Structure 1
């Protein structure tokens, strides 16, 4: 296992990263979500808690100071009081729940864009296997998670102790003073506690963010053989591609040979080169190359031309030059106009008036 990991020295390809994302395997920091939740609660404490507490306090004050207004004679009366308290509690908790949802979604979206992944909900035996479970607990990621949890408890505990020990004494003193001062003391203590928690979770979130991405990227690294296999798969098997190119050339050659009987003339040297041209004034302004080839292909072009009664002119320099500079299904370059025009004139001169129309 270690040898396999040591051999994974290559960076993951775009395809490997894309496949991992499609399976839900993305870098995700849980500590960043925890920090977002802490920040949401801090904003709730800072901007909503005083007003929400006062409103809830008024409801409870009205309930306990004026009990005669609330009858408890029937079940309907009990339900009415319960609904009244439920609405008051909902008004107290609604801003907090809304902020938790917004900050939680934002922390997830900023790390990775959400996408539906059915792989995450597919039943897997490894999730209920005790052996797999112990393996995950005592693995490196499991030890890291344990270390982060221990760090959070120790850091928050120690900092909280030194920062809040004086507030503890003030809270005890407030219990024996004017009751109206107790909410203010508690509110100040809660804000201070939240600042400490925010600093701790922010430190841990930054470290965890980079750790999770480093670990995720390391797990997706590939061996050199895996990279070669993926490139081969993406580009296709060389043997298959060579076979495909061979078939394409064969089909193009067959189409080219079928066009030879339509040619006006063929320019060739004795054995090595052959170029078949077609010229009809009504079709184009210049001769068009229907076929060209060397060696056996050139001999085949000559054979088909002779069978169709098409004139074959042997001109080695012209045949070689045209083969190098012309392409099939295109008109010849102007540099060959004069030489080819002379040959076409000879072809037309040898035909009868009726043949010249075709």
Structure 2
């Protein structure tokens, strides 16, 4: 029973039930794994392109018809020479470019805007890296028959149905007028079919945009599900970010040792060591170059206090016992910092006593 309980705990720890951490989200983004719907791109692109056709359609039609009129009125009479063919090619290319440039420009802007709207600014080459796992036929078969593939199939059928229904409905509404176009002029027929096409495009684009909202919501849900983490993953990530506790403890211990070693090297230069006398030891130094107040060069309790006193004795540094002052300095003053103003008088008296002993005054 104990083994079974441990197994259940192990599987529970590995179950991906937790929301992704900010680091996990950033790592996924760096790999190019972001929630994104292609339908947003498609719908936005179609809406912008057909919007341009709606606004500039008459001008484009005039440019195209003018190009044909010029071709059959002027070019048809030209001799077929290398120079004449080159001239025709350049002029035709320029006229066609004037028609296509607004459409291509808007398509590029729409593509960039729809991507920025979904994922923001992102540069990564991770998806371009060669991954041999993608060539695995078993994994490929699993993707084909996965739940995601089924969702994509349903989504594609829904798009085809929506666009087909909208197109059929518009044609059906205009069928009578469409039949009469054979009796109209070419200009009227072009205007009618152009407007009808733009209407079908705009309606289809709006329908795709509505569908893309649903698809983007699903893509976000699926992305959040895929980047979920287990409790063990979160602990491992925290451990990697903060460092292994044992390693951190060793580093801190090493830092304490280095700090103590550096502190001990300052004791020989101290003017006096104030002691408890057994538990506390505070090494004090006064130098006009360092400031107007004495400052602490070393302090410690128990074993470190004993080491400070040993170093002081070995270097002929005077040791003075003052229990209350030693405790107060230890608690209220840091190493390499001047003593607090409240201790000036007591420390000054001790330093005066030390200077007298050393015959400095």
Which of 161, 166, 170 in structure 2 is aligned with 1:163? 170
1:171 Cα deviation (Å)? Answer: 1.4
* Structure-2 separation of matches of 1:301 and 1:132: 68
1:85 Cα deviation (Å)? Answer: 4.0
Q: Which region of structure 1 is more displaced relative to structure 2, 61-70 or 34-43?
A: 61-70
Residue 224 of structure 2 is aligned to residue 217 of structure 1: yes
Which of 18, 28, 42 in structure 2 is aligned with 1:10? 18
Look up the match of 2:313.
Answer: 306
* Structure-1 separation of matches of 2:187 and 2:296: 103
Look up the match of 1:32.
Answer: 40
* Cα separation, partners in 2 of 1:198 and 1:284, compared to 1, 3 Å: closer
* Cα separation, partners in 2 of 1:68 and 1:351, compared to 1, 3 Å: closer
Look up the match of 2:253.
Answer: 246
1:153 Cα deviation (Å)? Answer: 0.9
1:83 Cα deviation (Å)? Answer: 4.8
Look up the match of 1:351.
Answer: 358
* Structure-2 separation of matches of 1:168 and 1:125: 54
CA contact (8 A) 2:47 2:202 kept: no
Residue 196 of structure 2 is aligned to residue 189 of structure 1: yes
Residue deviations 1:228-277, cap 9 Å, x none? 11111111111111111111111111122122222222221332121122
* Cα separation, partners in 2 of 1:149 and 1:287, compared to 1, 3 Å: same
Residue deviations 1:91-139, cap 9 Å, x none? 3322222221121121112222343322222222244444333333322
CA contact (8 A) 2:166 2:204 kept: no
TM-score normalised to structure 1 length: 0.88
* Cα separation, partners in 2 of 1:327 and 1:204, compared to 1, 3 Å: same
For the residue of structure 1 that corresponds to 2:283, the secondary structure is strand
Figure out how many residues of one structure are paired with residues of the other and give that number: 351
* Structure-1 separation of matches of 2:356 and 2:88: 116
Look up the match of 1:228.
Answer: 235
Look up the match of 2:66.
Answer: 58
Q: Which region of structure 1 is more displaced relative to structure 2, 225-234 or 168-177?
A: 168-177
1:76 Cα deviation (Å)? Answer: 5.9
For the residue of structure 1 that corresponds to 2:164, the secondary structure is helix
CA contact (8 A) 2:274 2:320 kept: yes
* Structure-1 separation of matches of 2:184 and 2:121: 53
Look up the match of 1:279.
Answer: 286
1:307 Cα deviation (Å)? Answer: 2.1
CA contact (8 A) 1:127 1:133 kept: yes
**Structure 2 residues not aligned, in runs of 5+:** 1-10
* Structure-1 separation of matches of 2:132 and 2:155: 28
For the residue of structure 2 that corresponds to 1:103, the secondary structure is helix
1:89 Cα deviation (Å)? Answer: 3.0
CA contact (8 A) 1:70 1:81 kept: no
Q: Which region of structure 1 is more displaced relative to structure 2, 36-45 or 132-141?
A: 132-141
**Structure 1 residues not aligned, in runs of 5+:** none
* Structure-2 separation of matches of 1:176 and 1:283: 105
Q: Which region of structure 1 is more displaced relative to structure 2, 310-319 or 75-84?
A: 75-84
* Cα separation, partners in 2 of 1:157 and 1:271, compared to 1, 3 Å: same
* Cα separation, partners in 2 of 1:62 and 1:169, compared to 1, 3 Å: same
* Structure-2 separation of matches of 1:230 and 1:237: 11
* Structure-2 separation of matches of 1:6 and 1:174: 69
For the residue of structure 1 that corresponds to 2:297, the secondary structure is strand
Higher relative contact order (CA 8 A, sep 6+): 2
- Alignment root-mean-square deviation, CA: 2.6
* Cα separation, partners in 2 of 1:292 and 1:217, compared to 1, 3 Å: same
Residue 120 of structure 2 is aligned to residue 133 of structure 1: no
TM-score normalised to structure 2 length: 0.88
